Amino acid sequence: MTRMHFHIRALATAACLTMLAVPVLAAQDTKQQSAAPTMVSGKALAEQLGAKLQPREDDELRLGMSFTAVLESPEKLAEFGIKGMHAGARVTVARVAPDKIRVEADEMTPVEASGKATLKLDEKGMLVAPKS
């Protein structure tokens, strides 16, 4: 009988601790999600990177999606840590997490070169340049 009371008391304690922990965890999860933008424009990202994106039916860059663009302003791309590229380079942009964008650039001429960076998105869906 004593053993049964111990098990019941242990289960009741575990239930109480779980009820106390769930709202705290839910609040933390909400804070993390609120930092990530809900809608990210592919066209806006391409412009920020100095690349030209072909017109698309849907401009939203959802999680797991990517697009390829042509580099027009290498100096803009260099601000995000990808240096040495020339106009005409291929720029591939992928949304790898709610608040992270993976950018890869490569070219064959005038010299074979490539570069990549993982960038953060702010609350408005704009890229944040890495701190030097």
Domain count, the chain: 2
At 8-31, the pLDDT tens digits run: 665 566 565 566 555 555 555 544
- Answer yes or no: pTM beyond 0.85: no
Q: Are residues 50 and 18 in the same domain?
A: no
Q: Are residues 29 and 46 in the same domain?
A: no
Among positive and negative, which fits the CA dihedral 59, 63, 65, 69? positive
- Check pLDDT > 90 for residue 53: yes
Band (56; pLDDT cuts 50, 70, 90): confident
Which residues span the domain enclosing 85? 42-128
Separation between Cα atoms, residue 43 and residue 57, nearest integer Å = 11
pLDDT computed for residue 109 by the predictor: 87
Q: Are residues 26 and 58 in the same domain?
A: no
- Check pLDDT > 90 for residue 132: no
CA dihedral 98, 104, 105, 108 (to 10 degrees): -150
Q: Are residues 58 and 114 in the same domain?
A: yes
